[in-house]
Amino acid sequence: MKKQIRIYIYIIGLILIDQLSKVWALSALRGTEGIAVIPNVFELSYLENRGAAFGILQDHQIFFVLITVAAAVILTWIYRRIPQPKKYIPLRISYALIMAGAFGNLIDRVFRGYVVDFFYFKWIDFPVFNVADIYVTVTMILLLILILFFYKEEDLDFLNRKGKHGRDNRN
């Protein structure tokens, strides 16, 4: 039980980091030209994102809220099925990161009506993003590496209702 509580404390901590960074961006960057950290390469530049990545689906906040809640339910169902051995710690970390990213941006959508973005790689004209987006991106890269190079197919049998030997895998 302590491990389950610990993961939610980590998630809350990650969300706080994201939200504090956005409060800083609102107070320090909104209404300014931004801050050139590395001129013509990387800037801190305030943006109100009312859509998804690359500016798609602008002003569809209810859609994003519903998708986030549905994803959270599915991810929590998966998390609760992850076995306890240490080799599954990377999956637990992935869960914490993706939940923190999803809820960090959800908080913005619900309370502001937009997501605060402020990291901008000007050199490659990459879309402006935030700490929550970093959590989600790192999670996706980590999961790809884990699935392709670390876990074997039978290591992921816990995702099925019944495992390899027909046993119920629920905890």
Q: Do residues 97 and 132 touch, judged by C-beta distance below 8 A?
A: no
Closest CA relative to residue 4, chosen from 90, 103, 80, 73: 80
Contacts of 56 (CB under 8 A, 6+ apart): none
Q: What is the pLDDT of residues 4-61, one digit of tens each?
A: 789 999 999 999 999 999 999 999 999 999 999 999 999 999 999 987 776 677 777 7
Q: Do residues 144 and 91 touch, judged by C-beta distance below 8 A?
A: no
Does the residue 164 lie in any domain?
no
- Contacts of range 154-158, beta carbons closer than 8 Å, 24 or more positions apart: 155/87, 158/81, 158/82, 158/83
Domains: count for the chain: 1
Does the residue 89 lie in any domain?
yes
Tokens of 100: 């923190």
Would you call 117 a catalytic residue per the annotation? yes
Does the residue 171 lie in any domain?
no
Would you call 157 a catalytic residue per the annotation? no
Tokens of 167: 């046993």
Residue of 18, 108, 125, 133 with catalytic role: 133
State the residue range of the domain holding 59. 2-159
Judged against a pLDDT cut of 70, whether residue 169 lies above it is answered with no
Q: What is the pLDDT of residues 97-155, one digit of tens each?
A: 999 999 999 999 999 999 999 999 999 989 999 999 999 999 999 999 999 999 999 99
C-alpha span between 76 and 87 (Å, rounded): 19
Residue of 117, 125, 157, 168 with catalytic role: 117
Does the residue 95 lie in any domain?
yes
Q: Give me the residues paired with residue 162 across strands.
A: 168
